Structure 1
Amino acid sequence: MENQFIYGYRTITRLLKKMYGLVVNPKKGYRIMKEKGWLCRTRPKKVPNLGRPYYVTENKLDRNVQADKPLEKLITDMTYFYFGNCKLYLSSIMDLYNREIVAYTISDCQDTDFVLDTLNQLNVPQGALLHSYQSSVYTSKAYFQACTEKGIIRSMFRKGTPADNACIEWFHSVLKSETFYLHHWRNLTKDSITDIVKNDITFYNETRMQQKLNNQSPVQYRKLAA
């Protein structure tokens, strides 16, 4: 059973029960994993403030992150990765129905075209809700027009309410911690980091189980619910 040190002891005990029928007390699981050096190697990292907003819409999501069907409610955000003295940026869009990453772009330039590349990957029904920060790239005229053309309803969180974006911030934190602490990022090339991030997003979508999804991966959950 491979986990690359990305699962905590509670998840490992659930995984043992799911895959092998083994019932292990979480405290015992923690003790064994600590003795063997198998504990989860994850650490969250904050995303930077991206600047002054230009165009702001109201908060229509209002912390109601539950969705009844795929592509009903989406949330988007950006994060970054260091390599050498440079940065790579990741723009992601998450489907709140099953926490699946349905679109993403990796770039060394953090501008409006960067987030538009991610948005243009979407094929969503009319009236889908897209929630974001009040960053200038999301409040730009170009981004607003692109969403309007797709029939997407915009929503932006209010300042001082970071919980509105908690789901996708958690994903970015997991992605960075589950890759950063397993690879020597400073010594990798841009292409190498890009490949690692792509592979880990695929792993997150198709394999990494989540307790909120009944211990299924996002893709497994979507297929079982279909």
Structure 2
Amino acid sequence: MELYEAVGRRIHELRVSEGSGEISQITLEQLSSALSDFGVDIKRAALSNIERGIARPSLSMLLAIAAALGKLKEKPIQLRDFFPGKGTVEITPLWSSTGSQLQDFMNGHPVTSDLPISPKTSATSFSPSLRRATKRVNHLLNDWRDNAAPQQFDISADYLKQLITRRYGRTLDEEAIARATKSSKSRDDVTWQAKGRQTAKIIEELVREIDSTWCKKPYSHKNK
């Protein structure tokens, strides 16, 4: 389970669980109203997206939700309560942690600096299109940022391959062909130009995801 999906699920569980105050199961409307007392203007639909793991709440938003829930339930909510106490949570495509470790991190335990990277895959297992895509992703990330990042990106083909598999459930070529097939009569009618256009779109999606995970300055195709 991905990190924000796990956090959203825990927020939902805390919201609908029984409390000691007059209000036990909090509705999204009630939570939205309580958040306004902390200067947060957020609608029911946006809160629902957070609980479903679609939206990625900031730290300030998590703190406000904890305060609002605690006020409504008349029971203090700790930030660690938003993290599951069991199971495995995917923090990044190549870094996972147990729920108990996440809670330890929130309690002030040191966060390991050694990312549990998956074993390196032999370069011969990478398709030519994946190798080209890796070069293109690094070029876009490094070129448009104009040295805005603290370090230059060097995304590996292994990293990109795993990111593609997690995001699309298939290889880069398979995803590009599947998209191109939608505008063709059959898979056999897909041209290499159509596949290339879809590959370019996929690369932009991957760049945005990598950028949103590791960077602060938002990526824009206008800056290519």
Instruction: Report which structure shows greater RCO (CA 8 Å, sep ≥6).
Output: 1
Do these two structures clear the TM 0.5 threshold for a shared fold by scoring above it? no
More strand, by proportion: 1
Q: TM-score, normalised by structure 2?
A: 0.28
